[in-house]
């Protein structure tokens, strides 16, 4: 992302005021929330929308002919229209609601995988993947006898596209990869990877969990076959996410779970399925969560993805400048074409200790393997500290992080 002189700006004070949690104090200090890559915070209008849904509109969806059920169904399906339009889908029916990215990927690996993947087939993923784009494929491979191949990662934290080309010679059935790395912030060249994969006859699944919060997504432009997102990383509630896929593809796939809502007819002899997307939405869905998710996407759209990108580009550039000047700090991942997430090691302080001491100053960062064990293995480390910035973070919070690091050095290493 680059800072564009003409890019729309963002009124940070007014924006932060919309997030009640940001005015909290933690351990006697103003909260500095640098863990949005794990889960973002929610603005009042998302909380209010869910509150209004429960107070005024709640009933089960798709079933009743009474007024409340009609209103709840309209709110739920309205969110589907918002998310479809946000992702550039052809129609709302191409959006399947899930609990999040993890469930969306499991749905594809389980449903599409059970029909189209067999013994001896190859599945390509990358060493950069979050466990949620690893384990569902391992389960599928175990069930079917398929083989998983892994695209290598360069020392700079980029996908090695020559290695991808080599693996594509094996004519895999699918290439599943992340749009943006949750540990490194790397923005992968999705359209290019999709082009190469499709030329080799493979479908493509893109894990968009870390991209959709920051970038305007257009699935048609990306050209992929599946795109998965999580609402809670984009100012929405937990437990609501989505899978996008083209209607023809969804129609070819068998149901993922059975139950109410997903059937057309049930007899003792057998059942037939509802049309997509309902075929994949068995049981009472997370109605309030989905309604809140829709409101979150409207919120981000109203703030403007251009304004968000410009603000985050500024924070990213500033954080890079400050963090690269901290003695003893090793930053992982690329310096360019990245989102506002920074993984690092600092002196020989364990990331968990670092996180604990920063927390004493109200600074929330993440420590651990970030569900990226294979990537950590690749870099020969167990864990990193990770600071992730979002639209509501400020340059001052970068400074507070850097000051906090200096304090941690004093405490742990007696460096003054
Ligand atoms: N993929 C990536 C890149 C992620 O960062 C995450 C969340 N940390 C997930 C998938 C899983 O998302 P969820 O837990 O919302 O299903």
Cα–Cα nearest to 297, from 285, 286, 308:
308
Q: What is the mean pLDDT of residues 304-316?
A: 97
Contact (CB, 8 A) for 361 and 29: yes
Cα-Cα-Cα-Cα dihedral of 223, 226, 230, 234, to 10°?
10
pLDDT at 3 exceeding the cut of 50? no
Residue whose entry in the numeric block shows the structure tokens 């949690």: 21
Please give the Cα distance from 123 to 304 (Å, whole number): 37
E strand or H helix at 126 = strand 122-126
What rounded mean pLDDT belongs to the chain? 95
Distance 53 CA to ligand 1 centre (A): 26
- Atom from ligand 1 closest to the CA of residue 370: 8
Query: pTM for the complete prediction?
Result: 0.96
When pLDDT is cut at 50, 70 and 90, the band that residue 7 belongs to is low
Matching CATH topology for 12-43+305-415 and 47-301?
no
Per the DSSP assignment, residues forming a β-bridge with 273 are: 263
Please report, rounded to a whole number, the percentage of residues in the chain having pLDDT higher than 90.
91
Contact (CB, 8 A) for 413 and 349: yes
pLDDT at 8 exceeding the cut of 90? no
Q: What is the mean pLDDT of residues 341-361?
A: 96
pLDDT of residue 280: 98
Between strands 270-273 and 122-126, the pairing is unpaired
Q: What is the mean pLDDT of residues 151-167?
A: 97
Contact (CB, 8 A) for 338 and 7: no
pLDDT of residue 414: 72
Cα–Cα nearest to 73, from 49, 86, 57, 87:
57
Q: Tokens for 351?
A: 């990331």
Distance 235 CA to ligand 1 centre (A): 14
When pLDDT is cut at 50, 70 and 90, the band that residue 63 belongs to is confident
Distance 39 CA to ligand 1 centre (A): 9
When pLDDT is cut at 50, 70 and 90, the band that residue 343 belongs to is very high
Between strands 203-207 and 226-230, the pairing is parallel
- Atom from ligand 1 closest to the CA of residue 38: 8
Residue whose entry in the numeric block shows the structure tokens 């739920």: 76
- Atom from ligand 1 closest to the CA of residue 207: 1
pLDDT at 9 exceeding the cut of 90? no
- Nearest-CA residue for ligand 1 atom 7 is 38
Q: What is the mean pLDDT of residues 58-78?
A: 94
Distance 372 CA to ligand 1 centre (A): 10
Distance 347 CA to ligand 1 centre (A): 29
Q: What is the mean pLDDT of residues 39-62?
A: 97
Q: What is the mean pLDDT of residues 161-182?
A: 98
Domains of the chain by residue range: 12-43+305-415, 47-301
- Nearest-CA residue for ligand 1 atom 12 is 101
pLDDT of residue 416: 62
Preceding omega of 277 cis (within 30 degrees of 0):
yes
Between strands 363-364 and 32-33, the pairing is parallel
pLDDT at 6 exceeding the cut of 60? no
Q: What is the mean pLDDT of residues 160-176?
A: 98
- Nearest-CA residue for ligand 1 atom 8 is 38
Mutate to test the pocket of ligand 1, among 37, 38, 96, 100 (most ligand atoms within 8 A of CB): 100
Please indicate whether residue 371 is annotated as part of the active site.
yes
The DSSP string of 332-387 is ES-SSSB-SEEEEEETTB-HHHHHHHHHTTTEE-EEE-TT-HHHHHHHT-S-EEEE
Structural fold of domain 12-43+305-415: 3.90.1150
Q: Tokens for 372?
A: 């990226």
pLDDT at 2 exceeding the cut of 50? no
Residue pLDDT, tens place only, 202-230: 999 999 999 999 999 999 999 999 999 99
Backbone angles phi, psi at 289, to 5 degrees: -65, -45
Structural fold of domain 47-301: 3.40.640
E strand or H helix at 166 = helix 161-168
Backbone angles phi, psi at 248, to 5 degrees: -60, -40
When pLDDT is cut at 50, 70 and 90, the band that residue 1 belongs to is very low
Residues having CB closer than 6 A to ligand 1 are: 38, 100-102, 130, 132, 178, 182, 207, 209-210, 230, 232, 241, 371
């Amino acid at each position: 992302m680059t800072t564009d002189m003409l890019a729309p700006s963002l009124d940070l004070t007014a924006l932060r005021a919309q997030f009640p949690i940001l005015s909290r104090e933690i351990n006697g200090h103003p909260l500095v929330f640098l863990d949005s890559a794990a889960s973002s915070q929610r603005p009042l209008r998302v909380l209010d929308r869910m509150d209004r849904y429960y107070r005024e509109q709640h009933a089960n969806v798709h079933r009743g002919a009474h007024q409340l059920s009609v209103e709840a169904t309209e709110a739920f399906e309205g969110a589907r229209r918002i998310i479809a339009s946000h992702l550039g889908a052809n129609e709302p029916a191409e959006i399947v609601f899930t609990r999040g990215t993890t469930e969306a990927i499991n749905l594809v690996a389980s449903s599409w995988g059970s029909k189209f993947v067999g013994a001896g087939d190859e599945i390509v993923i990358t060493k950069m993947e979050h466990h949620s784009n690893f384990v569902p494929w391992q389960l599928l491979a175990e069930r079917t006898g398929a083989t998983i191949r892994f695209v290598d990662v360069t020392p700079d934290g980029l996908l090695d596209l020559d290695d991808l080309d080599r693996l594509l010679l094996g004519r895999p059935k699918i290439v599943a990869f992340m749009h943006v790395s949750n540990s490194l912030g790397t923005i992968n060249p999705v359209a290019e990877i999709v082009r190469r994969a499709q030329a080799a006859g493979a479908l493509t699944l893109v894990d968009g969990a870390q991209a959709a919060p920051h970038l305007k997504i257009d699935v048609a432009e990306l050209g992929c076959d599946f795109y998965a997102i999580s609402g809670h990383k984009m100012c929405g509630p937990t437990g609501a996410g989505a899978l996008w896929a083209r209607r023809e593809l969804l129609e070819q796939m068998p149901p993922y779970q059975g139950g109410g809502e997903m059937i057309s007819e049930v007899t003792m002899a057998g059942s037939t399925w509802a049309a997509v997307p309902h075929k994949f939405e068995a049981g009472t869905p997370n109605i309030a969560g989905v309604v809140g998710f829709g409101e979150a996407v409207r919120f981000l759209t109203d703030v403007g993805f251009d304004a968000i990108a410009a603000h985050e580009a500024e924070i990213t550039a500033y954080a890079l400048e400050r963090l690269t000047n901290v003695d003893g700090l090793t930053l992982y991942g690329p310096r360019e074409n990245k989102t506002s997430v920074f993984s690092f090691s600092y002196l020989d302080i364990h990331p968990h200790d670092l996180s604990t001491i920063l927390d004493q100053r109200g600074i929330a960062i993440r420590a651990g393997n970030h569900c990226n064990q294979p990537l950590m293995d690749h870099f020969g480390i167990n864990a990193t500290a990770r600071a992730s910035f979002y639209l509501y973070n400020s340059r001052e919070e970068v400074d507070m992080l850097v000051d906090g690091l200096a304090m941690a050095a004093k405490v742990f290493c007696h460096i003054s």
